[in-house]
Structure 1
């Protein structure tokens, strides 16, 4: 597939899991990648992996809850590589609890990181993409957007991301910018392992339980999502916009 030789991408939440796999895949496809994490030191492993494979990248510390930091991260990327073509909004957190036990802080934090974070980074990126007359924005949603007990905050944020995606696709299409979302199912990551432990379950056991209900009989891996993001960033997806692609191993 491959990307154009001068493609530049920003991936938020790229220190581990889906974000790291996506940054590595885009670099493998030929993009220069800004690996963005809240703390710059947490980008080190991904940056090292990309450079070891011969890719170009820079690690940037950025809290997506802070508009100033977001704008600085986008500007630094353009200063480093000369342009911006792809934005992957992957930064995320969980603060799970039953709705009646959920604090205002836990609600606000999840909404701010997932939804407002995507808004901030997209708005900053558009200053460059609109001028270029091209760009790709890929937002990470989730199957939880359909509703998930104990995740009212997360489900609400991920459903809103889909609405944001659809609306931005309409607004930005005339500028040559596509906007799509990817909605992963259960992906084996440190985050889902942490969820298992909060539930008092062994992570391996939880993966086995989930896999037994998935038509493909396995849980997803970060590379499964990275491949779809890479497709959306590439030439073959040039006429695809405003869509949410569910990557969940089949209807359940």
Structure 2
């Protein structure tokens, strides 16, 4: 099997995309730690049956191996305990899928600092914490696969600056990890998924996108793509490929995965430049004359000021 004798940690692995990834890795031989405290989509604790235990039981029933860590990635020490749990039970940490996420959407002027902190701590600091604790083991064994889940929101979003900013940080974190860990046989890549889950496409999300469409903040094409997106099954094949030996030289890249399509993002780069002879200081008048025609040709303001 593809991942026989490999051990994987999947954060947020109890539901949605995370569960689909955990089940797929286990089906292909990996021994899986499902790290999930069973919170609601805004990160609040919930009562009742553990979704992580339900996911682990489903894997076991299908003949796979899975244990749970009912811990939050927002707790740095808990991330260390989860990595230690994987080492104690399976003897290695080979695959880390940083999938855990929460949403607390608000416009920036209405967003309490707590909502900013909860989202950034889960998506960005949580990925740092998991990598921080897993990296020494991956370095020592000179093999590892890190998948950081990103989002299209990193390119700019409305009503979720906390989420978009955190996901932008994830892209940069991935590129840094690729450079720090690559020589040890450890790769790090970002996957930006589009799949219908409780986090991404409930009634409130659909209503929010409808309002954005009516306000002209998103196109009809974008709206249709969101409300008709496929399920997690479209995401897992790319994850499996990136975790395999076939992708040993794929490092620091950012992919888009959705129903029937896999794409790759451009690396950040300077698209065009103005260069002044002698490296003298540009004057305000020079920039006023040159910037619109040389650097901003074809540019359209994504949110122009309203006019009466």
Q: TM-score, normalised by structure 2?
A: 0.74
- 1:119 alignment partner in structure 2: 128
Q: Cα distance 1:145–1:238, how it changes in 2: closer, same or farther (>3 A)?
A: same
Q: Is the 8 A contact 2:234 2:258 kept in 1?
A: no
Unaligned runs of 5+ in 2: 39-48, 214-219, 264-308
Structure 2 CA distance for aligned equivalents of residues 212 and 152 of structure 1: 19
1:133 is aligned to 2:142: yes
Deviation, 1:167, is 0.8
Structure 2 CA distance for aligned equivalents of residues 202 and 109 of structure 1: 23
Q: TM-score, normalised by structure 1?
A: 0.89
1:55 is aligned to 2:64: yes
Deviation, 1:192, is 2.3
- 2:153 alignment partner in structure 1: 144
- 1:197 alignment partner in structure 2: 204
- 1:98 alignment partner in structure 2: 107
Provide the aligned length of Structure 1 versus Structure 2.
Answer: 243
| Residue of 241, 244, 249 corresponding to 1:239 | 249
- 1:77 alignment partner in structure 2: 86
1:211-246 CA deviation, whole Å, 9 max, x = no partner? Answer: 87339x941211111221111111211110000101
1:10-68 CA deviation, whole Å, 9 max, x = no partner? Answer: 00001100100000010111101001102492302211111111001101111111111
Q: Cα distance 1:163–1:53, how it changes in 2: closer, same or farther (>3 A)?
A: same
Q: Is the 8 A contact 2:235 2:258 kept in 1?
A: no
Structure 1 CA distance for aligned equivalents of residues 222 and 207 of structure 2: 18
1:8 is aligned to 2:7: yes
Higher relative contact order (CA 8 A, sep 6+): 1
Structure 1 CA distance for aligned equivalents of residues 147 and 206 of structure 2: 31
| Residue of 228, 235, 245 corresponding to 2:238 | 228
Structure 2 CA distance for aligned equivalents of residues 134 and 19 of structure 1: 22
Q: CA RMSD in A?
A: 2.4
**Structure whose residues are more often helix by fraction:** 1
Q: Is the 8 A contact 2:209 2:223 kept in 1?
A: no
Deviating above 2 A after TM superposition, structure 1's stretches of 4 or more consecutive aligned residues are 39-42, 196-203, 209-215, 248-251
3-state SS in 1 of match to 2:102: coil
3-state SS in 2 of match to 1:229: helix
Q: Is the 8 A contact 2:191 2:257 kept in 1?
A: yes
